[in-house]
């Protein structure tokens, strides 16, 4: 969409040309790259069920400079397979575009303009749904942010006026169960920063008021992200920290002091979690890796070599570590809460995930514990229980809890423990 007004104040533009980076970006030193090998091995040795997972991995590997031809061709083929699916959501298509377009040299032409056209249509469908259903998109604001980011980086059509209104930081879609969503806010910061840079560089035109609002949105979202810092340095939770780091890298015109964010502490905590095997699914590994080497999604399509690529790639699948002292079976308490609560005790093998518990309970009592599940880039997620479906139009979903507290991991990745109280609860966000 063409923009009819040009930012009139040269002084504002000149001020905005100050590099939008932190004074220094903390990253893992090349001497310590071996500590990142578990992430890389997880990504390249996993069996991908969906092409969108391959897109996440391809994007991450390209950003950090791992250009192994055999691995890359395999991933590209899986991405192409997914691209042909009509079931792709707008955010999934945006991710495919980012992965296929990552790290091209300046004289290369993006070879997938038809995908950008498709994304424009899917983005408009999101907007139309919001107009009909009380501001609720077809998917969520994380995906809408991915849409804007991909359209911005690959010259797609979007309205600056629409972006300004959509990404008001107080918008309900930045909150999930009353809690600010760090990864959603971080992706919005990346998207808005891309738009801001294109305005500054004269690639798109707008008036001073819209430019001022975009800068204000970025500043407000960054404040909200920083307010979610934990004592150990994580931001939000372990799995939102990587994207939060990217947002903080690109959004600040001034140095952040240690009271605002101790980046080295965050880095140390993440490295410790890597050593414990926390990032054991491809998407989790793919999302944390770029930030650890100082890269962001805004480096996509920037130059032909996004990273140094000084990593050792192993073709051997990691050997799982199984505690020798654990019992072969564990007992957990499982509940489904809708208007009333349905409960049972379930016995499952040691090392089982939440989904295994749900399947075992369903076999015991199909009426009370029947459910449906769907695959996503983050693995399985619950779409219905007792026939009651999650619906983005009324902001409903099935929440996973342990000991009454929401889980940050998915139903197919959270490993359950002996004596644990697990719950699936019908909730609104």
- Residue 398, marked binder: yes
- Residue 81, marked binder: no
- Residue 140, marked binder: yes
What is the number of other CB atoms lying within 10 angstroms of the CB of residue 32? 12
Distance of CA 117 to the CA centre of its chain: 23
- Residue 287, marked binder: yes
- Residue 324, marked binder: no
For 110-143, the DSSP string reads: PS-HHHHHHHHHHHHHHHHHHHHTTT--SS-HHH
- Residue 126, marked binder: no
- Residue 426, marked binder: no
For 319-365, the DSSP string reads: PPP--TTS-SEEEEEEEEESSSEEEEEEEEETT-BHHHHHHHHHHH-
- Residue 381, marked binder: yes
- Residue 342, marked binder: no
Can you list the pairs that 394-400 forms with residues at least 24 positions away whose Cβ atoms lie under 8 Å? 394/133, 394/136, 394/428, 395/136, 395/428, 395/429, 396/426, 396/427, 396/428, 396/429, 397/427, 397/428, 397/429, 398/424, 398/425, 398/426, 398/427, 399/177, 399/424, 399/425, 399/426, 399/427, 400/354, 400/424
- Residue 170, marked binder: no
- Residue 207, marked binder: no
- Residue 400, marked binder: yes
3-state DSSP assignment of residue 234: coil
- The Cα–Cα gap between 263 and 272 comes to 14
* 347 strand-pairing partners: 331
- Residue 414, marked binder: no
Contact present, 119 and 97 (Cβ < 8 Å): yes
Residues in the annotated binding site for cyanocob(III)alamin: 139-143, 183, 237, 287, 381-382, 398-400, 407, 429
Residues in the annotated binding site: 139-143, 183, 237, 287, 381-382, 398-400, 407, 429
């Amino acid at each position: 969409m063409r923009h009819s007004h040009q930012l009139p104040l040269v002084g504002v533009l000149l001020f905005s040309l100050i590099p939008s980076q932190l004074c220094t970006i903390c990253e893992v030193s090349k001497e310590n790259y071996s500590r990142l090998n578990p992430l890389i091995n997880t990504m390249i040795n996993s069996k991908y069920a969906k092409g969108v997972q391959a897109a996440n991995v391809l994007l991450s590997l390209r950003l950090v400079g791992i250009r192994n031809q055999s691995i890359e061709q395999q991933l590209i083929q899986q991405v192409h397979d997914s691209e042909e699916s009509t079931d792709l959501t707008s955010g999934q298509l945006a991710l495919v575009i980012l992965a296929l377009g990552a790290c091209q040299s300046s004289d290369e032409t993006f070879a997938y303009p038809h995908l950008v056209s498709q994304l424009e249509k899917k983005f408009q469908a999101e907007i139309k749904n919001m107009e009909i259903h009380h501001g609720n998109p077809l998917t969520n604001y994380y995906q809408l942010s991915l849409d804007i980011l991909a359209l911005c980086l690959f010259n797609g059509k979007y309205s600056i006026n629409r972006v300004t209104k959509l990404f008001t930081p107080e918008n309900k879609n930045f909150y999930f169960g009353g809690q600010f969503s760090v990864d959603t806010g971080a992706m919005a910061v990346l998207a808005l920063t891309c738009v801001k840079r294109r305005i500054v560089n004269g690639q798109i035109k707008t008036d001073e008021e819209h430019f001022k609002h975009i800068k204000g949105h970025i500043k407000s979202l960054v404040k909200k992200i920083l307010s979610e810092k934990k004592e150990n340095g994580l931001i939000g939770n372990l799995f939102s920290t990587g994207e939060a780091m990217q947002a903080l890298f690109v959004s600040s015109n001034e140095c952040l002091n240690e009271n605002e964010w101790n980046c080295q502490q965050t880095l140390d905590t993440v490295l410790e979690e890597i050593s414990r095997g926390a990032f054991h699914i491809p998407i989790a590994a793919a999302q944390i890796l770029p930030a650890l080497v100082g890269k962001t999604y805004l480096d996509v399509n920037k130059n032909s070599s996004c990273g140094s690529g000084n990593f050792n790639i192993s073709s051997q699948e990691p050997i799982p570590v199984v505690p020798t002292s654990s019992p072969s079976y564990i007992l957990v308490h499982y509940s489904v809460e809708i208007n009333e609560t349905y409960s049972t005790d379930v016995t499952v093998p040691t090392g089982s995930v939440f989904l295994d518990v749900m399947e075992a309970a369903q076999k015991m009592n199909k009426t009370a514990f029947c459910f449906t599940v769907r695959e996503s880039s983050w693995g399985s997620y619950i779409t219905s229980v007792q026939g009651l479906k999650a619906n983005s139009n009324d902001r409903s979903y099935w929440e996973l809890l342990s000991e009454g507290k929401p889980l940050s991991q998915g139903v197919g990745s959270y490993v359950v423990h002996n004596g644990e109280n697990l719950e699936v609860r019908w909730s609104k966000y």
